[in-house]
């Protein structure tokens, strides 16, 4: 497989297939400890016990300090938390639950039986903790008891957890280094710095005053308080990671030894790319991690509401002024940044993304020039892909449902009073009420493209035509390389972004691959839940296949699919949908052209984030992609959908044999060693490797590139990082184009 890697990639990178299992942490000391320490490679009872004991010592110290602070300053703590929209009781509740999770793991892996297996968590346990203080008891009744309806809210929270842990008690999975590494990571990056903040916290004489943050000489104290709240918030969202950590399956590739036969097989198709001057790249990332304080503090001073955004001019003026101010006063930058992190609800994030629309005219000036860019709106012609239809397709793959009798490709019936809608709007949809019938698509090309009834006019022909009574409807043929296009599906956590925000690198790709790029601007959560965005992408994809020749005189025969992050998830979902529909609907089958090359970049392959992974721990140090933010994105996308593992359209990591038996495309993964969802790519790549081992060598042509020190979203980062990713991605596209007959 190494010999098949394009020469252009070999020329730009050192290629390695060893030492690629774990994320490459920027902390060399920690990286060395998980790579070389016997503690992680020798599973003796003593070594495991030492790792757990080290963790519990620091964890218990943190817990005691937090309880002491809350008990001694309860009134002030309540006021403070209420001021920033947080329930103080949550911290007692989650700390206690987190301790129970950890103790369960210890008891489980020490092989010590738990006396009350069926009652690990009870209402009484939480009540005992809270009842140590009368005020706690009042808060408990108020916040977790619904006396009117007779509902115990704690039991509502704990019952699903109990169900999962009862399964744990019956499971037989053995200890893996994932458990030890998790404790070591939490100790170093969460509880040790947390304890240091708590020690400073206890020395603060005045805990809370209404004018606290206006007193300049108390800024350091204010930062300490906010740091404590931020750490507590991290603990609050860690409980889901911990119980899934305990549920990791024995054959999970991320929990197997690197010397195992599974990893030896995987390394045949998984390669680490080491760029030139990796130490400089590493230092650049370390410096970038320091900058969010200034960015977030500037952002926190921009007024946002639902109806009106500030003008680009006022944003630039205030942003520049604020940036210079915070650059001068770094302490103030830290304070406002942390205040923003604590006070801002996740619901505000889509609003801040909308700020980029304000900058669009200016941002456009700095984008690489391109000969042709056009945003069009294409009509949804096929019935909606909804959750009911997804269920039918899943049942069909199981053999429990028959193909449809009538074609899904039959156009939707018009209502009696409905007018015939045009197939395309070339600029905008004139009536907002009609927008739901269309999907926005952005087209980029190195040469001008002409739509139906448009014609190319020179100077003399333009003057000549002015004297003619009627226009000439001749259409120019749009020529493009090997009848191939690239369809781009953007990322943004399912709740934000658009093709426009990805054009900074897509336009550079365009100049090198010289084929048209179609970017699909699908609908976003929370207004649109799963699978509405998948339906938009499917509708736009089929419109291109059915009408590109008619509307653009483009004979599309070969398709490359690219998707990053959430877009990578939707890219796999679309590919699976097309494969199933080719057999589920025989009348539609002849219309479908399957993509021949898939380019997933740092894709989400398990949307619910219930699937624990090693790399998710990296999110603890992220201000922009914390576990809480990721969990929020998933919840907004899923809504009230009960996630089923078998829904491979939602979780591509669950691709079944029905899909893989019929996959004929090439797949090239690109992700970075410092990506918080790096393991998502590794798990899906392993699924392909496992399938090939069972069904024949290289039946599925998949390959993965793990790029040293790159993090999530690297395609949209600095010019230097964009160049690194482009040097890996473009050669694979050009290699594919070269081999098209």
Predicted confidence (pLDDT) per residue in 216-233, tens digit: 457 787 788 788 878 877
* 42 DSSP 8-state letter: -
Per-residue pLDDT tens digits for 452-489: 877 655 544 444 444 444 444 445 667 788 899 999 99
**Whole-number Cα distances in Å, 533 to 132, 374, 381, 517, 600:** 49, 21, 15, 19, 17
- Say what the pLDDT of residue 311 is: 72
Q: How confident is the model at residue 309 (pLDDT cuts 50, 70, 90)?
A: low
- Say what the pLDDT of residue 733 is: 97
Q: What is the mean pLDDT of residues 245-249?
A: 61
Q: What is the mean pLDDT of residues 483-505?
A: 94
Q: What is the mean pLDDT of residues 556-575?
A: 97
Which is more confidently placed, 66 or 505? 505
Contact between 183 and 55 under an 8 Å Cβ cutoff? The reply is yes
Contact between 17 and 272 under an 8 Å Cβ cutoff? The reply is yes
For residue 114, pLDDT over 50 is answered with no
For residue 553, pLDDT over 70 is answered with yes
Please calculate the CA angle 687-692-696 and round it to the nearest 5 degrees: 165
Nearest to 22 by CA among 254, 212, 247, 312: 254
CB neighbourhood size of 336 (10 A): 23
For residue 405, pLDDT over 60 is answered with no
Q: What are the helix (H) ranges across 311-386?
A: 312-328, 330-343, 349-358, 360-365
Q: Which of 88-102, 297-311, 444-458, 495-509 has the highest mean pLDDT?
A: 495-509
Q: Which of 103-107, 139-143, 324-328, 712-716 has the lowest mean pLDDT?
A: 139-143
What distance in Å separates the CA atoms of residue 374 and residue 426, rounded to the nearest whole number?
8
- Say what the pLDDT of residue 141 is: 43
- Say what the pLDDT of residue 211 is: 41
What distance in Å separates the CA atoms of residue 729 and residue 714, rounded to the nearest whole number?
12
For residue 443, pLDDT over 80 is answered with yes
Q: What is the mean pLDDT of residues 127-148?
A: 44
- Say what the pLDDT of residue 408 is: 47
Which is more confidently placed, 622 or 85? 622
- Say what the pLDDT of residue 336 is: 83
212: which residues sit within 8 A by CB, 6+ positions away?
A: 206, 218, 222
Where do the domains of the chain lie?
28-257, 283-360, 370-454+480-738
Q: What is the mean pLDDT of residues 50-77?
A: 76
- Say what the pLDDT of residue 167 is: 55
Stretch (H or E) spanning 397? helix 387-397
Q: Tell me the angle at which helices 532-552 and 566-584 cross, rounded to the nearest 10 degrees.
A: 70
- Say what the pLDDT of residue 587 is: 82
Note the pTM of the prediction, 2 decimals: 0.86
**Whole-number Cα distances in Å, 16 to 4, 146, 269, 725, 727:** 14, 58, 11, 17, 16
- Say what the pLDDT of residue 122 is: 41
- Say what the pLDDT of residue 347 is: 64
Place of tokens 């507590």: 232
Coil, helix or strand at residue 401 = coil
Q: Which of 61-65, 272-276, 501-505 has the lowest mean pLDDT?
A: 61-65
Q: What are the helix (H) ranges across 247-329?
A: 261-266, 278-288, 292-299, 312-328
Q: What is the mean pLDDT of residues 200-215?
A: 57
For residue 393, pLDDT over 70 is answered with yes
Which is more confidently placed, 93 or 425? 425
Burial label for 469, CB within 10 Å (0-12, 13-18, 19+), is exposed
For residue 38, pLDDT over 60 is answered with no
- Say what the pLDDT of residue 704 is: 97
- Say what the pLDDT of residue 3 is: 67
Per-residue pLDDT tens digits for 535-544: 999 999 999 9
Superfamily grouping for domain 370-454+480-738? Alpha/Beta hydrolase fold, catalytic domain (3.40.50.1820)
- Please, what is the average pLDDT of the chain? 78
User: Could you tell me the two tokens for 213?
Assistant: 């943050």
- Say what the pLDDT of residue 432 is: 87
For residue 139, pLDDT over 60 is answered with no
Q: What are the helix (H) ranges across 37-133?
A: 38-41, 45-72, 74-83, 89-109, 123-130
CB neighbourhood size of 459 (10 A): 7
- Say what the pLDDT of residue 72 is: 67
Which is more confidently placed, 293 or 686? 686
**Whole-number Cα distances in Å, 123 to 92, 97, 325:** 14, 11, 50
Q: What is the mean pLDDT of residues 100-118?
A: 54
First-to-last alpha carbon distance for the chain, in angstroms, is 23
What distance in Å separates the CA atoms of residue 296 and residue 319, rounded to the nearest whole number?
11
> Is the Cα dihedral 99, 612, 615, 487 positive or negative?
negative
């Amino acid at each position: 497989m190494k010999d098949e890697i394009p020469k252009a990639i070999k020329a730009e990178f050192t290629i390695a297939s060893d030492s690629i299992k774990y994320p490459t942490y920027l902390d060399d000391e920690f990286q060395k400890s998980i790579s070389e320490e016997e503690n992680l490679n020798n599973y003796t009872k003593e070594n495991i016990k030492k790792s757990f004991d080290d963790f519990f010592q620091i964890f218990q110290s943190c817990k005691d300090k937090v309880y002491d602070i809350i008990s001694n300053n309860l009134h002030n703590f309540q006021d403070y938390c209420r001021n920033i929209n947080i329930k103080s009781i949550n911290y007692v509740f989650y700390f206690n639950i987190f301790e129970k999770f950890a103790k369960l793991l210890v008891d489980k892996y020490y092989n010590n039986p738990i006396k009350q297996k069926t009652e690990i968590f009870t209402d009484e346990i939480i009540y005992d903790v809270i009842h140590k203080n009368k005020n706690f008891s009042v808060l408990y009744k108020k916040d977790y008891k619904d006396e009117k309806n007779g509902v115990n809210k704690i039991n509502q929270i704990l019952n699903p957890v109990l169900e999962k842990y009862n399964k744990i008690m019956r499971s037989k999975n053995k200890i893996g280094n994932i458990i030890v590494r998790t404790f070591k990571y939490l100790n170093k990056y969460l509880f040790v710095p947390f304890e240091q903040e708590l020690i400073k916290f206890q020395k603060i004489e005045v805990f809370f005053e209404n004018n606290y943050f206006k007193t300049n000489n108390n800024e350091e104290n204010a930062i300490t308080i906010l740091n404590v709240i931020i750490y507590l918030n991290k603990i609050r969202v860690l409980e889901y990671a911990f119980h899934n950590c305990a549920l990791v399956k024995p054959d999970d590739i991320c929990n197997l030894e690197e010397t195992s036969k599974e990893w030896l097989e995987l390394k045949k198709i998984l390669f680490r790319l080491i760029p030139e001057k990796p130490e400089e790249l590493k230092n650049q990332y370390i410096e970038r991690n320091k900058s969010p304080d200034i960015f977030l503090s500037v952002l926190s001073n921009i007024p946002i509401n639902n109806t009106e955004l500030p003008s680009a001019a006022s944003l630039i003026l205030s942003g520049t002024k604020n940036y210079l101010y915070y650059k001068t006063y770094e302490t103030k930058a830290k304070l406002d940044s942390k205040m923003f992190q604590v006070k801002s609800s996740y619901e505000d994030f889509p609003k801040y993304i909308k700020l980029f629309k304000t900058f669009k005219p200016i941002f456009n000036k700095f984008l690489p020039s391109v000969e042709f860019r056009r945003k069009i709106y294409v009509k949804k012609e096929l019935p909606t892909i909804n959750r009911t239809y997804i269920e039918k397709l899943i049942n069909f793959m199981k053999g429990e449902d028959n193909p449809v009798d009538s074609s899904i490709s039959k156009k939707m019936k018009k209502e009696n009073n409905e007018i015939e809608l045009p197939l395309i709007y070339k600029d905008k949809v004139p009536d907002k009420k009609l927008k739901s019938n269309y999907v926005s698509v952005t087209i980029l090309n190195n040469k001008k493209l002409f739509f139906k009834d448009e014609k190319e006019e020179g100077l003399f022909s333009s003057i000549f035509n002015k004297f003619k009574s009627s226009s000439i409807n001749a259409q120019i043929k749009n020529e493009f390389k090997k009848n191939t296009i690239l369809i781009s599906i953007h990322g943004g956590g399912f709740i934000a972004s658009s093709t426009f925000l990805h054009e900074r690198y897509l336009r550079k790709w365009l100049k090198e691959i010289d084929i048209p790029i179609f970017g699909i601007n699908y609908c976003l959560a929370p207004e649109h839940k799963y699978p509405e965005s998948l339906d938009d992408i499917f509708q736009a994809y089929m419109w291109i296949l059915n009408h590109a020749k008619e509307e653009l005189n483009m004979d599309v025969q070969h398709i490359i699919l690219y998707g990053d992050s959430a877009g990578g998830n939707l890219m796999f979902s679309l590919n699976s949908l097309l494969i199933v529909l080719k057999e589920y609907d025989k009348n539609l089958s002849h219309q479908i052209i399957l993509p021949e090359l898939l380019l997933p970049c740092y894709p989400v392959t398990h949307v619910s984030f219930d699937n624990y992974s090693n790399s998710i721990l990296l999110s603890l140090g992220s201000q922009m992609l914390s576990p809480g933010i990721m969990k929020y994105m998933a919840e907004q996308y899923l809504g009230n959908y009960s996630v089923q593992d078998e829904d491979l359209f939602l979780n591509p990591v669950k691709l079944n044999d029905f899909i893989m038996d019929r996959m004929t495309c090439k797949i090239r993964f690109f992700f970075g060693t410092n990506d918080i969802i790096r393991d998502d790519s590794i798990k899906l790549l392993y699924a392909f490797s496992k399938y090939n081992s069972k069904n024949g060598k290289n039946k599925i042509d998949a390959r993965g590139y793990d790029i040293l020190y790159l993090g999530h979203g690297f395609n949209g980062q600095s010019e230097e990082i964009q160049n690194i990713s482009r040097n890996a991605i473009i050669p694979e596209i050009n290699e594919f184009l070269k081999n098209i007959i």
